[in-house]
Chain A
Amino acid sequence: MSEKKHIEEAKDISLGYFITGGLVLAIAVLLGLLTRISQTGMLGNVPKLYYSLMTLHGMAAFVGWGCFTSIGLTWYVLVKTLDSPLHSPKLVKFIYWLFATGFVLLVVSVLFGNFGGSWVFLYPIAFYGYWDTWAATVWTLGVILAGVGIILYGLEILLTIRKAGYGFWAALGFESFKKDFDEMENRVPLPAVPFAVIGLGMIVATIPFAILLIYQFLELIGLINTRMDALLAKNMLWWFGHPVVYLILFPVVGFFYYVTEVYAGMKLIGERYAKLAWALATIVQNFIGAHHVYNDMAQAPWIHVWSQLGTYAIIIPSLISIFSITATIFISDFHWGVASQYMFTSLAFWLLAGMSGWVNATISLNIHIHNTLWVVAHFHVMALLALSTMIFGMGYHLITDYTEGDFNKNLASKALWTYVIGALGFTHFWFIQGLWGGIRRSYASTPENLTLLTYLSIPFMIIAVIGIWINVYVAFSAAFGKSKAAPAATASAS
Chain B
Amino acid sequence: MSFLKQVKMFLIAFGGVGVILLLRFLFTGSTKISPGSQNAIAANLDESTFTIVRLFLIGLEFLWLSFWAIFYIRLSMKATQPASEDTKKKIEAFEPKYFQLVAALLVLLLILSFAIPYIGGDEVEQFHNHTNDQPFDKQVNILAHQFYFEFDVNNNGTYVQSFSKDNPEVVLKTNVMYLFSMKTTDTTHGFGLYSPDGVLLGQNQIVPGYDNYYYFQFEKPGIYKVLCMEYCGAGHQVMVSYIQVV
Q: B68 contacts A348, CB within 8 Å?
A: yes
CA A7 to CA B102, docked complex, whole Å: 38
Q: Which residues of A contact B41 (CB under 8 A)?
A: 444, 446-448
A438-454 interface bits toward B, Cβ cutoff 8 Å, 1 = contact, 0 = none: 01011110111110000
Of the candidate stretches B26-34, B155-163, B167-175, the one touching chain A is B26-34
Q: Does A80 contact B (CB under 8 A)?
A: no
CB B220 to nearest CB in A, in angstroms, measures 17
Counting chain B CB atoms within 10 Å of each CB, the highest count among A34, A231, A331 belongs to A331
Q: B207 contacts A273, CB within 8 Å?
A: no
Decide yes or no: A298 and B40 within 8 Å by CB, A46-B32, A128-B146, A336-B80 being known contacts: no
Which residues of B from 179 to 227 have beta carbons under 8 Å from A?
Answer: 186-188, 190, 192, 194, 198-200, 202-205, 207-214, 227
Interface residues of B, count at CB 8 A: 103
CB A39 to nearest CB in B, in angstroms, measures 10
Q: B30 contacts A49, CB within 8 Å?
A: yes
Q: Does A315 contact B (CB under 8 A)?
A: yes
Q: Which residues of B contact A34 (CB under 8 A)?
A: 26
Q: Which residues of A contact B109 (CB under 8 A)?
A: 312, 358, 362
A319-331 interface bits toward B, Cβ cutoff 8 Å, 1 = contact, 0 = none: 1100110110111
B124-140 interface bits toward A, Cβ cutoff 8 Å, 1 = contact, 0 = none: 00110110000000000
Which residue on A lies nearest to B230, using beta carbons? Answer: A371
Q: B212 contacts A297, CB within 8 Å?
A: yes
Which residues of A from 186 to 213 have beta carbons under 8 Å from B?
Answer: none
Which residue on B lies nearest to A371, using beta carbons? Answer: B229
Q: Which residues of B contact A270 (CB under 8 A)?
A: 92, 95
Decide yes or no: A443 and B236 within 8 Å by CB, A296-B207, A371-B190 being known contacts: yes
Q: B43 contacts A16, CB within 8 Å?
A: no
Decide yes or no: A297 and B214 within 8 Å by CB, A16-B7, A48-B30, A128-B186 being known contacts: yes
Q: Does A467 contact B (CB under 8 A)?
A: no
Q: Which residues of B contact A48 (CB under 8 A)?
A: 30-33, 234
A sample of 21 inter-chain contacts (CB < 8 A) reads A12-B3, A15-B4, A19-B11, A27-B22, A44-B32, A47-B35, A48-B32, A111-B29, A112-B25, A128-B232, A128-B233, A298-B210, A331-B91, A332-B82, A355-B61, A356-B57, A359-B60, A365-B53, A443-B236, A446-B43, A450-B45
